[in-house]
């Protein structure tokens, strides 16, 4: 993940309603804004937060002071990012998503509209569980569909795909396509976001099944629950 750079000095290029400098609007003077990062004037970004170069923070968002957001990210309307959350580069966080403490998103993660993270497994209003937050890691390139719920403490693997409305309760393997409540694996998804076709046993290795992306032709090998692009096996 790249770190934020100094703010741009060219005020004229800032679109109306957007803020490009710390200390303006509701963007604290102690915020680090990377070059070209823009925050809508209705959003709050607290002192200490870091937003990487070229990122966009849209209407009514709230980024807390301990949050670190990478470069070229988009935070849609009404996104909340709590303290301690890290977001890699090029993440797309759609409207109404809250990233609670304990959530970590690697690069290229897509969070669909109104999907839900959690950070306490057994909440009770009358019991403080602030020191029991569980970690949820979303690995590089994973997508989470609209209105899905991720029960805390899981890892969603690289390029995994969570269907709309799914409830994820367990770790998700790389490239897995998950759907339903509770979420079950219904297939495998390519890095490009196409459901992988099964080609058959891999030539020369009976323990591996060959899969193929219908969109790009890229080949993958599956051994049990482990899928990897063929070129990563060499
Ligand atoms: C999971 C998903 C990728 C599957 O797409 P697909 O491969 O084209 O799947 P199909 O539509 O062919 O459906 C295959 C089966 O899975 C079921 N299915 C599809 N999506 C499902 C979902 N989200 N939850 C439960 N079941 C689902 C279908 O009903 C169908 O079942 P059937 O074989 O018994 O009829 C897609 O449905 C989805 O949820 N995409 C996320 C969309 C989204 O949230 N976008 C956010 C940005 S706007």
Predicted confidence at residue 12, as pLDDT, reads 60
DSSP 96-121: T-EE-TTEEE-TT-EE-TT-EE---S
DSSP state of 232: G
Hey, which of 145, 172, 177, 214 would you mutate to test ligand 1's pocket, going by the most ligand atoms within 8 Å of its Cβ? Answer: 145
DSSP state of 170: S
pLDDT digits over 118-173, tens only?
999 999 999 999 999 999 999 999 999 999 999 999 999 999 999 999 999 999 99
pLDDT digits over 29-84, tens only?
999 999 999 999 999 999 999 999 999 999 999 999 999 999 999 999 999 999 99
* 46 contacts 65 by C-beta, under 8 angstroms: yes
**Span(s) in the chain for CATH 2.160.10.10:** 8-194
Closest C-alpha to ligand 1, atom 31: 186
Return all residues near 89 (Cβ < 8 A) that are at least 6 apart: 1, 2, 52, 70, 71, 72, 73, 107, 108
Closest CA to 197 of 218, 174, 225: 218
Predicted confidence at residue 160, as pLDDT, reads 99
What Rg, from alpha-carbon coordinates, does the chain have? 20
Phi, psi of 60 (to 5 degrees): 65, 20
Q: What percent of the chain has pLDDT above 70?
A: 94
Q: Looking at domain 8-194, does it have CATH number 2.160.10.10? A: yes
Predicted confidence at residue 3, as pLDDT, reads 45
Predicted confidence at residue 11, as pLDDT, reads 56
* 212 contacts 225 by C-beta, under 8 angstroms: no
* 138 contacts 109 by C-beta, under 8 angstroms: yes
pLDDT digits over 80-111, tens only?
999 999 999 999 999 999 999 999 999 999 99
Atom of ligand 1 nearest to the CA of 144: 44
Instruction: Report how far apart the first and last C-alpha atoms of the chain are (Å, whole number).
Output: 26
The model carries a pTM of 0.94
Hey, which of 162, 166, 179, 182 would you mutate to test ligand 1's pocket, going by the most ligand atoms within 8 Å of its Cβ? Answer: 179
């Amino acid at each position: 993940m790249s770190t934020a750079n100094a703010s741009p000095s060219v005020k004229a290029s800032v679109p109306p309603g957007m803020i490009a400098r710390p200390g303006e609007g509701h963007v604290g003077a102690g915020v680090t804004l990377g070059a070209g990062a823009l925050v809508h004037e209705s959003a709050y970004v607290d002192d200490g937060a870091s937003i990487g170069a070229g990122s966009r923070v849209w209407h009514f968002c709230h980024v807390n002071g301990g949050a670190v957001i990478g470069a070229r990210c988009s935070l849609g309307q009404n996104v909340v990012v709590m303290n301690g959350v890290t977001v890699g580069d090029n993440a797309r966080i759609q409207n109404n998503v809250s990233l609670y403490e304990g959530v970590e998103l690697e690069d290229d993660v897509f969070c669909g509209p109104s999907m839900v993270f959690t950070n306490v497994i057994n909440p009770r209003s009358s019991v403080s569980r602030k020191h029991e937050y569980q970690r949820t890691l979303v690995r590089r390139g994973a997508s989470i569909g609209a209105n899905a719920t991720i029960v805390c403490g899981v890892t969603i693997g690289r390029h995994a795909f969570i269907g709309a409305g799914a409830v994820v309760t367990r770790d998700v393997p790389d490239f897995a396509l998950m759907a339903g409540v509770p979420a079950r694996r219904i297939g495998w998804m390519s890095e490009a976001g196409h459901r992988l076709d099964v080609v058959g046993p891999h030539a020369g290795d009976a323990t591996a099944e060959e899969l193929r992306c219908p969109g790009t032709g890229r080949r993958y090998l599956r051994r049990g629950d482990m899928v990897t692009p063929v070129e990563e096996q060499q």
